[in-house]
Amino acid sequence: MGRTAVPFLSSIAATLLPWLNRCMEHDKHPREVSEQMISAQEALERLQAGNQRFVSGVQSLSTLSSRARRSDLVAGQAPFAIILGCSDSRVPAEIVFDQGLGDLFVIRVAGNIIAPSLVGSVEFAADKFGTRLVVVLGHSHCGAIQATLEELERPSANRSPNLHSIVDRIRPSVQSLLETELKHNYDELFRQAVRANIRTSTNHLRHGSPILEKLIASDGLLVVGAEYSLETGVVDFFDGLP
Ligand SMILES: [Zn+2]
């Protein structure tokens, strides 16, 4: 080791140690769980009431005034529900549930599929903020489901591998439906495929993540599945209700 190496190393240590100390200090208090976080049942009722307002064409004062709270939210957030929804432009969670800034932690991906980064996003919000409700939100006429049904009927060699990765995650839940009499009734097949895919995602979130399993078992976390109707604007919570 050269003569200059020791001072050089000690100057690195002097720089890094305060940073490491700050990290360790932070790790002692990594959660920002709100003391006032509502239960999963209350969160569900709040979403249902918000969707009824959306269907009736009214907005709550709380939603309308939430933009004025923007500066308050700089210090932190306490979203009362986590929504894993489809990216479809017609199904924006904040609008169909009539909620404002800071209310919902929303993760959107075509076909509301589950992949590791999406589970990680749910884990992050549930663990960090203490949010007790997770909703997988699918919808009628979902393009990702339609693409999967088309792929199963007419496999395409030219599909982008990235797009394929979405179809591959939807495929198992709809493949079994194609082996039933539903194959003769495309509309009903499509409807049931949407719901089967939502159930697959809720099951995946309930089983397979040790963090979420622990929060479900001992911290009141609830994972439910819901379908938004493009026709009526109604969100039907059909899977996992207590
Ligand atoms: Zn969709």
Confidence of residue 15 (pLDDT cuts 50, 70, 90): very low
Rounded to the nearest whole angstrom, what is the distance from the C-alpha of residue 87 to the centroid of ligand 1?
A: 6
Smallest CA-to-CA distance from 106 within 93, 115, 118, 89 is with: 93
CA of 82 relative to ligand 1 center, distance in Å = 18
Helix axes 116-129, 186-206, angle to 10 degrees: 50
Centroid of ligand 1 to alpha carbon of 4 (angstroms): 61
Quote the ligand 1 centre to 241 CA distance (angstroms): 22
pTM of this prediction? 0.86
Distance 228 CA to ligand 1 centre (A): 10
* Ligand 1: centre distance to CA 85 (Å): 8
pLDDT one-digit tens code per residue, 57-94: 999 999 989 989 999 999 999 999 999 999 999 999 99
Cα 150 to ligand 1 centroid, rounded to whole Å: 15
Classify each residue of 153-178 as buried b or exposed e, where b means 16 or more C-beta atoms within 10 Å of its C-beta.
eeeeeeeeeeeeebbebbbebbeebe
Give which of 47, 70, 43 is closest to 60, Cα–Cα.
47
Predicted confidence band at 143 (pLDDT cuts at 50, 70, 90)? very high
pLDDT score of 36: 84
Reply yes or no on whether the pLDDT at 10 is more than 60: no
* pLDDT for position 30: 55
pLDDT band, very low/low/confident/very high, at 20 (cuts 50, 70, 90) = very low
Say whether pLDDT at 230 is over 60: yes
* 33 CA from centroid of ligand 1 (Å): 31
Q: How confident is the model at residue 32 (pLDDT cuts 50, 70, 90)?
A: confident
pLDDT bin (cut points 50, 70, 90) of residue 188 is very high
Q: What is the mean pLDDT of residues 139-151?
A: 96
Ligand 1 centroid – CA 70 distance (Å): 30
Q: 39 C-alpha vs ligand 1 centroid, how far in Å?
A: 28
Give the per-residue pLDDT at 6.
44
pLDDT at residue 110 tops 60: yes
The pLDDT, as a whole number, for residue 59 is: 93
C-alpha 186 to ligand 1 mean position (Å): 17
Domains annotated on the chain, with CATH: 36-239 (3.40.1050.10)
Q: How close is the Cα of 86 to the center of ligand 1, in Å?
A: 5
> pLDDT digit string (tens) for 196-208?
999 999 999 999 8
Cα 24 from chain centroid? 29
